[in-house]
Amino acid sequence: MFSKDIGIDLGTANVLIHVKGKGIVLNEPSVVALDRKTNQVIAVGEAARKMIGRTPEHIVAVRPLKDGVIADFDVTEIMLKYFLNRLKVKGFMTKPRILICCPTNVTSVEQKAIREAAEKSGGKKVYLEEEPKVAAIGAGMNIYQPSGNMVIDIGGGTTDVAVLSMGDIVTSESIKVAGDVFDNDILQYIKREYKLLIGERTSENIKLQIGSVLAGNRKEEMEVRGRDMVTGLPRVITIHSSEIEGALKDSIAMIVAAARNVLEKTPPELSADIIDRGIILTGGGAMLHGMEKLLAEELKVPVTVSETPMDCVALGTGIMLDNMGRLSKRR
């Protein structure tokens, strides 16, 4: 049996794996549950995510990636090994080639950590590519022509903004403001305004169910359960979409500012192309209610959400694996 080329979107929130010839075969949360007493792995992926905030002291659910890069090398290696073994991508005598994505501002030390984790997990040859470039390819953009394409990839740990032409990034910016920061903004807002403590998962559910970034664009409400900070007892409150819009305002402004900075640094000929083609939104954050309308209003350029925003990076790795000659191994 021969090994297969695989592409990995090693995200702060989710890991997606694309196997050449099969498509996306895995989409699991980037979480590992460990027993501190025995140092044993209890669960990986979705099973581990369900344990966040719901375990005894000696069991801890760890998210080994932070801000798009590896925060805990050993746990990342455990997680990747588990997923690759589950998929049985190694051959009898061979190891797969792995294409893995990273943010645009990743340091050489962080690049080395990502490459080593992939190699130790069973990769023969590891290629690194910049996330917005791969996301643009996965979203259906033809970045190999001499024309401007702009992508805003809002993930779990980072938001990557890039203008691409002739198969490479012309100008880009990466900021550590994305899905995780949105969740924390909501958590802190409820703590401050209602004196109610909620967990990460509750905060994420609020964002998904009633979250909005555009004033007056969504009028929904939701019951939220948590622990009263004054009495210490469980309490239920009702929260509205307009409150979430207010809670996220500062973080969204930072994403808009990053996109503006990239547009300001873009050569005028490419800027003209972007007005014609518009901006493509990818990543989980692209699905936040009103995001494309807000960015279109602020940037004065048409903005559209990719058909499958969560899968763009993984799909892009698949396309790049089919064109291995175009891959440049980043040092």
Asked whether the domain spanning 145-305 has the same topology as the one spanning 6-133+314-326, the reply is yes
Write down the pLDDT at residue 208.
95
Q: Per the annotation, does 27 bind a ligand? A: no
Residue with tokens 């880009």: 172
pLDDT score at 7: 94
Is the pLDDT at 87 greater than 60, yes or no?
Answer: yes
Regarding pTM above 0.75, the answer is yes
Residue 171: beta bridge partners? Answer: 163
For the stretch 168-198, pLDDT in tens is 999 999 999 999 999 999 999 999 999 999 9
How many other CB atoms are found less than 10 A from the CB of residue 257?
14
Q: Helices 241-264 and 200-210: crossing angle, nearest 10°?
A: 80
258-274 pLDDT, tens digit per residue, is 999 999 999 999 999 99
Reduced to 3 states (helix: H, G, I; strand: E, B; else coil), residue 239 is: strand
Q: Is 28 annotated as a binding residue?
A: no
Cα 35 to chain centroid distance, Å, stands at 27
Using the Cα atoms of residue 154, residue 157, residue 160 and residue 166 in order, give the sign of their dihedral. Answer: negative
Beta bridge partners of 222: 239
Give the pair of three-digit tokens for residue 235: 């309490």
- Where are the chain's structural domains? 6-133+314-326, 145-305
What pLDDT score was predicted for residue 4? 76
Whole-number pLDDT of residue 331: 39
The number of helix segments (H) and strand segments (E) in the chain equals: 10, 18
Yes or no: say if 105 and 261 are a contact pair by the CB < 8 Å rule: no
pLDDT at 327 over 80: no
Distance of CA 32 to the CA centre of its chain: 17
Q: What angle do CA 68, 313, 272 make, to 5 degrees?
A: 100
Average pLDDT, the chain: 91
Q: Is the pLDDT of residue 125 over 90?
A: no
pLDDT category at 90 given cuts 50, 70, 90 is: low
SS3 41: strand
> pLDDT digit string (tens) for 32-54?
999 989 989 999 999 999 998 88
Q: Are 149 and 163 in contact (CB under 8 A)?
A: yes
State whether CATH 3.30.420.40 applies to domain 6-133+314-326: yes
pLDDT at 325: 54
Q: Which CATH superfamily is domain 145-305 in?
A: ATPase, nucleotide binding domain (3.30.420.40)
Checking if the pLDDT of 140 tops 90, the result is yes
Report pLDDT digits (tens) over 239-255.
999 999 999 999 999 99
- For 61-95, letters b (16+ CB in 10 Å) and e give bbbbbbbbbbeeeebbbbbbbbbbeebebbeeeeb
The span from the CA of 304 to the CA of 302, in Å, is 7
Note whether 186 and 315 are within 8 A (CB).
no
Please write the tens of the pLDDT for every residue from 57-85: 999 999 999 988 889 999 999 999 999 88
Tell me if 12 is assigned to a ligand binding site: yes
125 annotated ligand binder: no
pLDDT of residue 93: 63
pLDDT in tens, 91-108: 556 788 899 998 888 888
pLDDT for 324 beyond 70 = no
Q: Answer positive or negative: Cα dihedral of 123, 129, 135, 140.
A: negative
Calculate mean pLDDT across residues 7-22. 92
Predicted confidence band of residue 328 (pLDDT cuts 50, 70, 90): very low
**Tens digit of pLDDT for each residue in 185-233?**
999 999 999 999 999 999 999 999 999 999 888 899 999 999 999 999 9
Nearest to 98 by CA among 107, 220, 214, 83: 83
283 labelled ligand-binding:
no
At residue 41, φ and ψ (nearest 5 deg) are -80, 125
- And the tokens for 146? 């001499």
* In the predicted structure, residue 1 carries a pLDDT above the cut 50: no
Strand order in the sheet with 221-228: 196-197, 221-228, 234-240
Q: Is 204 annotated as a binding residue?
A: yes
Inter-CA distances, 210 with 29, 103, 248, 310, Å: 22, 29, 12, 19
